[in-house]
């Protein structure tokens, strides 16, 4: 491994610091008030959604928050496909940013942060065992921050088409739930996210566990031989 921090690693660290600062300084409720005012105009509302999905990684908001907005403006029938497309679109910047920082090899800072190094090795082993599509799908189903899944898949070498397929399948139940919540809301607030609660999270964890049961069994069987 390389001993010194590369310019790309430094840029990545600066980007992470920017995301943390932006998430602390930005109020979702304040933004949603302005977006709600555009709901009567489908074109302006659609443009606002594009902006929201574009800046969402920068402010580290959950994808379900924007999916609630989609449901509020477009209802369930249009909202679900738009929300799924938005989930893929908003994951592209962190996916390619992580791959650019990674530069096709170990991130230099891992030389000094052994815990992060062990996590990187475990993540690569996870995707090698589960496969790209299955691994991303299971990670999306679990209540894990979307950008953490995206960046981990990116630096673990998951192919883009496998990442997109896994994102579409794994985000489907979360998107449907968020869109339904938004379509039934009288006003746009972050409090609506509370309706996407513990029962759904538990169901998604169980689904992810079932999805990974086959690869886990095969790995255990091979290690026991």
Going 148 to 86 to 70 to 181, the CA torsion angle's sign is: negative
Indicate the pLDDT class of residue 132, thresholds 50, 70 and 90.
very high
Residues 53, 86 contacting (CB under 8 angstroms): yes
Percent of the chain having pLDDT more than 70?
A: 74
Closest of 210, 208, 180, 209 to residue 195, by C-alpha: 180
Residues 138, 145 contacting (CB under 8 angstroms): no
- Contacts (Cβ under 8 Å, ≥6 apart) of 204: 141, 142, 143, 173, 174
User: Does residue 45 sit in helix, strand or coil?
Assistant: helix
How far, CA to CA in Å, does 10 sit from each of 3, 13, 17, 97, 194?
A: 13, 5, 11, 13, 37
Instruction: Answer yes or no: is pLDDT of 34 > 50.
Output: yes
What pLDDT shows up at residue 174? 93
Rounded to an integer, what distance in angstroms lies between the CA atom of residue 13 and that of residue 143?
A: 25
Instruction: Answer yes or no: is pLDDT of 138 > 80.
Output: yes
What average pLDDT does the segment 69-79 reach?
A: 93
Rounded to an integer, what distance in angstroms lies between the CA atom of residue 181 and that of residue 76?
A: 9
Percent of the chain having pLDDT more than 90?
A: 43
> What's the mean per-residue pLDDT of the chain?
82
- For residue 192, give the DSSP letter: G
Instruction: Answer yes or no: is pLDDT of 50 > 90.
Output: yes
Indicate the pLDDT class of residue 219, thresholds 50, 70 and 90.
low
What pLDDT shows up at residue 214? 72
What pLDDT shows up at residue 205? 87
What pLDDT shows up at residue 224? 47
What pLDDT shows up at residue 3? 43
Q: Which residue has the higher pLDDT, 50 or 29?
A: 50
Highest mean pLDDT range out of 25-39, 123-137, 189-203? 123-137
pLDDT tens-digit readout, 110-126: 454 556 667 778 888 89
Structure tokens at 83: 């929300």
What pLDDT shows up at residue 1? 37
């Amino acid at each position: 491994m390389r001993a010194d921090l590369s310019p790309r690693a430094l840029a990545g660290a600066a980007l992470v610091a920017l995301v943390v600062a932006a998430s602390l300084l930005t109020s979702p409720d304040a933004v949603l008030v302005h977006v709600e005012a555009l709901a009567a105009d489908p074109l302006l509302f659609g443009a606002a959604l594009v902006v929201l999905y574009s800046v969402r990684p920068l402010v580290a908001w959950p994808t379900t928050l924007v999916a609630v907005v989609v449901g509020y403006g477009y209802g369930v029938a249009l909202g679900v496909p738009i929300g799924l497309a938005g989930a893929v679109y908003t994951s592209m910047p962190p996916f390619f940013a992580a791959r650019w920082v990674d530069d096709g090899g170990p991130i230099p800072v891992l030389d000094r942060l052994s815990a992060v190094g062990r996590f990187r090795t475990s993540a690569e082993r996870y995707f090698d065992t589960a496969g790209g599509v299955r691994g991303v799908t299971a990670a999306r189903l679990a209540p894990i921050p979307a950008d953490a899944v995206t960046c981990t898949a990116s630096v673990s070498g998951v192919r883009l088409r496998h990442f997109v397929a896994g994102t579409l399948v794994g985000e489907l139940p979360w998107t449907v739930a968020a869109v339904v919540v938004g379509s039934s809301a009288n006003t746009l607030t972050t409090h609506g996210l509370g309706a996407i609660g513990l029962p759904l999270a538990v169901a998604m964890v169980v689904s992810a566990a079932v999805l990974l049961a086959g690869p886990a069994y095969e790995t255990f069987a091979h290690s026991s031989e």
